Structure 1
Amino acid sequence: MSKPIFSGDVVISGGGLAGLTLALALHKAGLSVAVIDAMALSEHVTPEHDGRASALAYTSYRMLNAVGAGQYLKDHVQPIEDILVVDGRPYDGLKRGGPGPNQLHFDRREISPEDDGEALGYMAENRWTRVALARAADEAGLTVFAPARASHIEQDAAPGRNRLVLESGDVLEAPLIVGCDGKFSGLRAQAGVRTTDYAYNQKAVVLTVEHEHSHDGVAYECFMPTGPFAILPLPNNRSSLVWCERPKAADALKDMDDEGFQEALEARFGDFLGWVKPVSPRWTYPLTLKFAERFTDDRLALVGDAARGIHPIAGQGFNLGVRDAAVLADVLVDAKRAGLDLGAPAVLQRYERWRKTDSVAVGLGAHLFTWLFSNDHSTIRAARGLGLSIVDQIPAARRFFMRTAGGEVGDLPALLRGDSLHL
């Protein structure tokens, strides 16, 4: 049996957003952690790597501050002051596109009335979040092996240990291995963890646009018959668009010449923010639901998209991964303090119980909203418009949805409260 190149408390396979967030949380708490990733961190942060932006819930932003990444991200985030959930169909009295007559307005001042209070969320381009996490990892001296690709978990590891074998033949050893290796997780597949899968027959066209007028920190979730159309505020009069369409239509939009795409953009976006123009390439991503039947296996925990991937309708994908990281860090630090085996079934079951309810609720909620709003059936359209109007008139309901989207429900782990973890 070859000598491991790392032997510590936790090995994390996957150095994306969720993986690095978890690694920093554990490292700063005093655990011995190593991260492996197939791509060097420097490649994660190029503009060409990923055109997406994420809406960071205010509890997620607290955690990024607690693990040391917030200081590098603060100049690249746009606070979300308001969210408008609207029927995106054009109607008389409003120019082409843009918000329709039925809407639900979320105002951060209802739950954070101070002028300098927390926003409903913080929009950040994924590449800047990666830059912040990479800089925090470098500053903290986090052990990272990249580029390096996981091959398999060795089944004959010593008692109380698990061994992750890399394609190079090198081995990393720890009581617990964490799979943060995405929706097509190889570690999940090797462990035989089954998934529930659903394809939405939609693709998201993702790009960044610049517009004439300020968005004033307002995020729009417009519901169209073919899928949601999200206008998400970024710094400097820019917005990130998540434009959901049937796959053939999405591919056509991606491949369209600039003049044709400009015309299609103006028709869908409208002119409520003045002129609008693309300032980035276009990307497309197929939209699916994938849910692991369990989040743990023998000395293995699944985090982020390896545990579940959901529709982006509510912008909760990355936030679910952050909440996974916060809970697992809390559980492992408690176990380490008590002298327990970090990979013991009782320790991992606590993590799974803590995360399963929230994950199922958010995943099914996104699924239901996608079905309810991605159609043009007259009866359903009338019912959903009425529903938006009713909820908009109930302050308690608005506050409940805002706190739920912000991740401030149930038993919050320390990092989501903004507190640090220490052994």
Structure 2
Amino acid sequence: MSQSYDIVITGGGMAGATAAISFAQLGLSVALIEAVEPEQELSTSYDQRAVALSASSVAIYRSLGLWSELESVACPIKNIHVSDQGRFGFTRLAASDYLIDSLGEVILLEQAGPILWAALKQYPLIDIYCPAKLEKFESEKNYCRLTISQSTQTKDSDTENNQQLSTIDASLMIAADGTYSRIAETLNLPINREPYHQHAVIANISTDKKHDNHAFERFTNEGPLALLPLTANRMSLVWCHKPENADEVMAWDDGHFIEALQQAFGYRLGRITKVGKRYQYPLSLHHAQQHFSDRVLLFGNAAHTLHPIAGQGLNLSLRDIAALTDCLSNACLSNSRLSEHAESSRDFGNGEFLADYIQSRQADWQQTIIATDSLARLFSNDFLPLALVRNKAMNLINRLPFVKEQLANAAMGYSGFSSRLTRGLANQPIFKASK
């Protein structure tokens, strides 16, 4: 017998978990399917990477009632310094210039995961299937049916050796299963994929000077470099290298790595004293050309994976969540396509409703993707004339308050986007619980 829900979400990373909580607050029943518990080392959703939450993303988490817990492990960004190695040009953004406390907050995924999952378990309308694997799915006229498998233990064994199959029905399936989405592949949804021919080397470092809540973007001979402030005076490093150089960088001992990083970044934070475990992954732009089909909606990295240098990937996904939450609320309150009174009309997967959501997001997607892609390519190009123009442009921007304000608004996630959650309005339970 199938278990029925309003929405099923495949993928329990930051985007999937946050979406589940937001939708449950509206009174919707949600099934969340995830392969790996967030505390396990195998989890790629909640590893040692850091994410920079824009001011609008912080507002979303505050409206959802989650920020008080997340704030305890977050570090505010009060200044952003952008520079080019070997040249004098720079741009600086300061929260104090706009009479705000911070431009954003930095949080480690491995610390955010347990907080979000603890919150998920507080909602009776959310059922978590984890660890679980999606075996197959099929779309019917009024619902999507998923078959999942879960490992179970026998009484006489500590090993997971039995596979239990379950069937789930939902009006809408949200595919938040990552950049290389199996669901998107199964549906043959067209995805624009453009490799950057770079690998990101990431690590956490310590320096002998306090970071004072500064974030740094520096464009080096090897590739773009970002340092984000963390708690305990640590910094999160993202350093982009050509693929043929990345393996060599990973093989360096800590002393060699620190020396090379020091030369590339300089001494704004004094001496680099320690580097943690290093990781690397290839970088590419992934953007869905078609976001939904047959009651399935792509979400998170499955819909758009961006270059990390501008830190906008997760922030864009959180704005997607805020926008879809608004669409669900508006559709119910206007009684135009959904009704809280007629069970048969709780059709969250119908094409017309999803098309309206997609239309509402197109401008933000295009602006963010173009800006991030242009920035990544511009500052990865060491062609001398272009580098000189880039350097002069940074100096010019630093002298133009209006342009700097536009950049600050974009960095904070407020450039042309507004929703109830970003305005500080908490979700209200407007649907009758169907669970």
Q: Contact (CA 8 Å) 1:69, 1:135: kept in 2 or not?
A: no
Distance change >3 Å, CA 195–CA 105, structure 1 → 2: same
Scaled by the length of structure 2, what TM-score is found?
A: 0.88
* 1:279 shift after superposition: 4.3
1:101 maps onto 2:88 in alignment: yes
Residue 286 of structure 2 is aligned with which of 265, 290, 301?
290
Q: Which residue of 2 aligns with 1:93?
A: none
Query: How far apart, CA to CA, are the structure 1 residues paired with 2:221 and 2:397?
Result: 21
Query: How far apart, CA to CA, are the structure 2 residues paired with 1:238 and 1:367?
Result: 28
Instruction: Return the letter of the residue paired with 1:320.
Output: L
* 1:233 shift after superposition: 0.8
Kindly report the root-mean-square deviation, in angstroms, between the aligned alpha carbons of the 2 structures.
1.9
SS in 1 for 2:122: helix
Unaligned ranges ≥5, structure 1: 91-99
Q: Contact (CA 8 Å) 1:162, 1:299: kept in 2 or not?
A: yes
Q: Which residue of 1 aligns with 2:235?
A: 239
Distance change >3 Å, CA 255–CA 181, structure 1 → 2: same
* 1:197 shift after superposition: 0.8
1:150 maps onto 2:134 in alignment: yes
Residue 405 of structure 2 is aligned with which of 382, 399, 402?
399
Q: Deviations over 1:238-282 (max 9, x none)?
A: 100000011122221212222322322322232221221334210
Q: Contact (CA 8 Å) 1:45, 1:131: kept in 2 or not?
A: no
Moved more, 329-338 or 29-38: 329-338
Residue 270 of structure 2 is aligned with which of 267, 274, 280?
274
Q: Which residue of 1 aligns with 2:25?
A: 28
Query: How far apart, CA to CA, are the structure 1 residues paired with 2:38 and 2:383?
Result: 46
SS in 2 for 1:127: helix
Residue 144 of structure 2 is aligned with which of 153, 162, 166?
162
Query: How far apart, CA to CA, are the structure 1 residues paired with 2:282 and 2:175?
Result: 22
Residue 416 of structure 1 is aligned with which of 422, 426, 432?
422
* 1:123 shift after superposition: 0.8
* 1:231 shift after superposition: 1.1
Q: Contact (CA 8 Å) 1:11, 1:34: kept in 2 or not?
A: yes
Instruction: Return the letter of the residue paired with 2:297.
Output: A
Q: Contact (CA 8 Å) 2:203, 2:236: kept in 1 or not?
A: yes
1:309 maps onto 2:305 in alignment: yes
Q: Deviations over 1:59-99 (max 9, x none)?
A: 11111122232122111111111111111x13xxxxxxxxx
Query: How far apart, CA to CA, are the structure 1 residues paired with 2:66 and 2:41?
Result: 15
Query: How far apart, CA to CA, are the structure 2 residues paired with 1:199 and 1:136?
Result: 36
Residue 383 of structure 2 is aligned with which of 359, 370, 377?
377
Instruction: Return the letter of the residue paired with 2:92.
Output: H
Q: Contact (CA 8 Å) 1:179, 1:300: kept in 2 or not?
A: yes
Q: Contact (CA 8 Å) 2:397, 2:404: kept in 1 or not?
A: yes
Q: Which residue of 1 aligns with 2:342?
A: none
Q: Which residue of 2 aligns with 1:321?
A: 317
Query: How far apart, CA to CA, are the structure 2 residues paired with 1:149 and 1:364?
Result: 35
* 1:48 shift after superposition: 11
* 1:35 shift after superposition: 0.4
* 1:395 shift after superposition: 0.9
SS in 2 for 1:407: coil
SS in 2 for 1:415: coil
Distance change >3 Å, CA 239–CA 350, structure 1 → 2: same
Query: How far apart, CA to CA, are the structure 2 residues paired with 1:180 and 1:285?
Result: 20
Q: Contact (CA 8 Å) 1:207, 1:278: kept in 2 or not?
A: no
Instruction: Return the letter of the residue paired with 2:5.
Output: G
Distance change >3 Å, CA 224–CA 124, structure 1 → 2: same
- Report the identity percentage: 32
